[in-house]
Amino acid sequence: MWAETRLRANLLVGEVRPSAVADAVWSAIAKNRVEVDVGSLSLRGGQVVQALAPGLVRRVARLTGASRTADDAAERQRHKR
């Protein structure tokens, strides 16, 4: 998704190398797992905080520009819908 939009992920979220994604998919197939998380450590930590305090995460995302990045990415891919 990021390559198509020419945007970078927010620094709080981070990005995962394609090789890490490939390794995780390979491992999931080998272990017969239906689902696998490949997010950065900060993203996984943010998911826990989101579950406990969604309002706080929403405010932090707005203040750091994370929600703007997602909105920009959606706008740049609108032609696919």
Burial label for 28, CB within 10 Å (0-12, 13-18, 19+), is middle
Q: Identify the pLDDT of residue 52.
A: 95
* 29 Cβ neighbours under 8 A, 6+ residues apart: none
Q: What is the full DSSP assignment across 29-67?
A: HHTT-S------HHHHHHHHHHHH-HHHHHHHHHHHTHH
Domain range summary for the chain, segments of one domain joined by +: 2-80
Q: Which amino acid is at 77?
A: Q
* Alpha carbons within 13 A on the beta-carbon side of 79: 3
**Mean pLDDT in runs of 10 for the chain (81 residues)?**
74 80 94 89 83 90 79 84 78
